[in-house]
């Protein structure tokens, strides 16, 4: 008559034998490993080392991805918006303005021809709190009526009142008698 411990050991040995026969258990593995699946300190060390290596690899991949995304964002933000025809070149006289929307229908923009004939285009949104600005050629300025903000018409720089940042500039080009918006400088 065998004891319960002996019976359990015999059953485990039989199970291990069956599994070896089926190829599920390596020949070199002792059958007790199935009953006591403990790992040695060395195995845990290897697992930790592999995990650390995995973490380092993942961090490096993340860093490379972040740098790539930043470079892409820079390229994107350098000039935003699709080319769009604004108006005919001869429709805007010196010291006058032409209002249009750019880069989307919801973005009011301002095309001005300076007294010397040069063209400039800016977002019409004041950089203080977003009111709409206007060209005032008689005062040689772009003016925001909300808090009396003043901008320089040839550069868009803030020169008076609360605004501190220049107006957003729109690149323009005259081609075949048409004035085109080429992109917003950010
Ligand atoms: S919103 Fe233009 S000056 Fe305040």
Ligand 1 pocket test, pick from 108, 126, 150, 168 with the greatest ligand atom count within 8 Å of Cβ, gives 126
Cα-Cα-Cα-Cα dihedral sign, residues 142, 145, 147, 148:
positive
The residue to mutate among 122, 129, 134, 165, having the most atoms of ligand 1 within 8 angstroms of its beta carbon, is 129
Q: What DSSP designation does 132 have?
A: B
Give the distance (Å) from ligand 1 centre to CA of residue 146: 5
Residues written for the chain: 186
For the chain, domain boundaries: 4-75, 79-185
Convert the pLDDT of each residue in 16-57 to its tens digit: 667 666 655 555 555 555 555 555 555 555 566 665 665 566
Q: Which CATH architecture has domain 79-185?
A: 3-layer Sandwich (2.102)
User: Angle at the Cα of 23 (from 18 to 27), degrees rounded to 5?
Assistant: 85
Res. 8 pLDDT band, cuts 50 70 90: confident
């Amino acid at each position: 008559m065998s004891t319960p411990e002996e019976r359990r050991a015999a059953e485990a040995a039989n199970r291990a034998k069956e599994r070896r026969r089926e190829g599920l258990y390596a020949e070199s593995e002792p059958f007790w490993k199935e009953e006591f699946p403990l790992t040695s300190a060395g195995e845990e060390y290897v697992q930790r080392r592999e995990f650390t290596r995995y973490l380092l690899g993942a961090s490096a991949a993340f860093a490379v991805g972040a740098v790539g995304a930043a470079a892409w964002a820079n390229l994107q933000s350098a000039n935003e918006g699709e080319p769009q025809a604004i108006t005919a070149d001869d429709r805007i006289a010196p010291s006058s303005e032409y209002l249009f929307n750019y880069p989307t229908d919801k973005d009011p923009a301002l095309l001005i021809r300076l007294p010397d004939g040069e063209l400039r285009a800016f977002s019409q949104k004041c950089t203080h709190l977003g009111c709409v600005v206007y060209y005032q050629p008689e005062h040689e300025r772009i003016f925001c009526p909300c808090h009396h903000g003043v901008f320089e018409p040839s550069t868009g720089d803030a020169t008076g009142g609360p605004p501190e940042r220049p107006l957003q500039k729109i690149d323009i080009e005259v081609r075949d008698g048409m004035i085109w918006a080429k992109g917003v400088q950010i």
